[in-house]
A and B are shown apart, each in its own frame.
Chain A
């Protein structure tokens, strides 16, 4: 059974990242944008997992980076979703294109 090398794994995570990038740019609902950001974080995680697997001596540090990225991702999604809820309370909408006022 042929093994998958580092280059293939990095290319795959780059593809996943650009899918998330497309979603973050093109979607209009705030929750969809947050979900696209999650996909981008998945890609970053996979990237680091692949590096930890193939690069000699990278393992403990790469694992710490993955743990911290997961922590930051969880914090980001919690704050992001609570901002969406706060936005909905104020503006009664959750589509970013409806938000034209800078204050209030």
Chain B
């Protein structure tokens, strides 16, 4: 079912999306390219006969992970400037990744056993897959461990991204400083209009005094 045409089109889409994702200057553009890349990977998985995995990929990566990434970008990069990083071509990174690609490609091409696998196997029935997944003598234990890993990740993510004590302390300190001395340098930016008004008032009073 995986014809050369479908493979080339999807492969082109995936590679272009991946390259644009890592070379995008704006992080949020990179997140959208990653979304396209995930959709392309799901399409290729579909054409390789693993429809269930393709749908899972689409739900998990194109749905959840992309939205999570975009939300994180929105939380951490408040201004346009902070979301943009220059994307210079790093020569050493290019050399390293090309060397990696060369090594792996050499290994793949130099293994004659791999070239013998050209006929596609019959795709597995989803019911058989489920029965195997939840069988006690199958992969039920690993499945439970995987759900525990997800639970641990959930708790860790909530723990790390909640309001830390440090944050609360800083806010309290800021507030106290502002109440104590509204014109201190600490709150200079916040109270800038206030200070200007006060100065104007003072100068106006001074002028009135000199008139008198």
> In the assembly, what is the distance between CA of A8 and CA of B108, in Å?
9
Render A20-34 as a binary contact track against B, CB cut-off 8 A, 1 for contact.
Answer: 111101111101101
A98 CB to closest chain B CB (Å) equals 11
From known contacts A4-B3, A71-B146, infer whether A90 and B164 are also in contact, taking CB-CB under 8 Å.
Answer: yes
Q: Which of chain A's residues has its CB closest to B82's CB?
A: A94
The reply to whether A15 and B15 form a contact with Cβ atoms under 8 Å apart is: yes
Our pick among A17, A56, A88 for the contact of B76 (Cβ within 8 Å) is A88
Instruction: Give the interface SS of chain A, mostly helix, strand, loop or mixed.
Output: helix
Interface size class of A (residues with CB under 8 A): 35 or more
Residues of A within 8 A of B152 (CB): 75
The reply to whether B5 and A1 form a contact with Cβ atoms under 8 Å apart is: yes
> In the assembly, what is the distance between CA of A29 and CA of B146, in Å?
30
Using a Cβ cutoff of 8 Å, how many contacts connect chains A and B? Answer: 241
Render B75-111 as a binary contact track against A, CB cut-off 8 A, 1 for contact.
Answer: 1110000100101001011101110110011001100
A94 CB to closest chain B CB (Å) equals 5
> In the assembly, what is the distance between CA of A42 and CA of B11, in Å?
12
A residues near B (Cβ < 8 Å) are 1-12, 14-23, 25-29, 31-32, 34-36, 38-39, 42, 45-46, 49-50, 52-56, 58-60, 63-64, 66-68, 70-79, 81-86, 88-90, 94-95
The reply to whether B44 and A85 form a contact with Cβ atoms under 8 Å apart is: no
Residues of B within 8 A of A3 (CB): 2-4, 118, 120
The reply to whether A74 and B129 form a contact with Cβ atoms under 8 Å apart is: no
> In the assembly, what is the distance between CA of A64 and CA of B41, in Å?
18
**CB of B188 within 8 Å of the partner chain:** no
Residues of B within 8 A of A7 (CB): 108-109, 114-115
The 13 sampled A-B contact pairs (Cβ below 8 Å) are A3-B3, A10-B114, A11-B109, A22-B93, A26-B22, A35-B22, A36-B22, A53-B2, A54-B121, A63-B129, A67-B146, A82-B161, A85-B72
